[in-house]
């Protein structure tokens, strides 16, 4: 597991107990080019106020690209909005193809997204946790 993945899990665990987490490798394991990051996770008990807190925190940041927190399914997914727009949503079979296309053809976008993800994680590390 990469340092970024470990850090991301620690940051997200501040908001609740994780039951599942996924973050693709930042570089293609065979060819070494950067890969667009998108982070998926599920809490053992998801709470609406936590989702709003994360959405607001991400939305308030001056990121280089636009990000979306998708919660339409059981897992939460923080993904560059461009990926959702070009693939027409998570349920589309085109999602994987769009990710692959961006990974292989738009390295600059991938670098900017990776930089954004670090900024997002750094910010979420500092967000005050509401008292229950």
Domains and CATH numbers, the chain: 3-126 (3.90.1150)
Q: pTM here?
A: 0.91
Chain segment 30-82, per-residue pLDDT in tens: 999 999 999 999 999 878 889 999 999 999 999 999 999 998 888 899 999 99
**Considering Cα of 15, then 18, then 21, then 23, what sign does the dihedral take?**
positive
Q: State what percent of residues in the chain have pLDDT above 70.
A: 98
pLDDT at residue 91 greater than cutoff 90: no
Q: CA-to-CA distance for 41 and 99, rounded, in angstroms?
A: 18
Q: Quickly state the pLDDT bin for 89 (edges 50, 70, 90).
A: confident
**What is the structure's pLDDT at 108?**
97
Contacts of 49 (CB under 8 A, 6+ apart): 130
């Amino acid at each position: 597991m990469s340092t970024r993945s470990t850090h991301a899990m620690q940051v997200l665990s501040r908001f609740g107990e994780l039951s599942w987490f996924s973050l693709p490798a930042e570089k293609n394991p065979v060819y070494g080019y950067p890969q667009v990051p998108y982070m998926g996770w599920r809490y053992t008990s998801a709470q609406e106020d936590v989702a709003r807190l994360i959405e607001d925190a991400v939305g308030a940041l001056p990121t280089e690209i636009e990000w979306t927190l998708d919660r339409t399914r059981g897992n939460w997914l923080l993904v560059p909005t461009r990926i959702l727009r070009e693939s027409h949503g998570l349920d589309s079979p085109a999602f994987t193809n769009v990710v692959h296309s961006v990974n292989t053809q738009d390295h600059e976008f991938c670098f900017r997204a990776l930089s954004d993800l670090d900024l997002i994680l750094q910010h979420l590390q500092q967000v005050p946790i509401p008292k229950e």
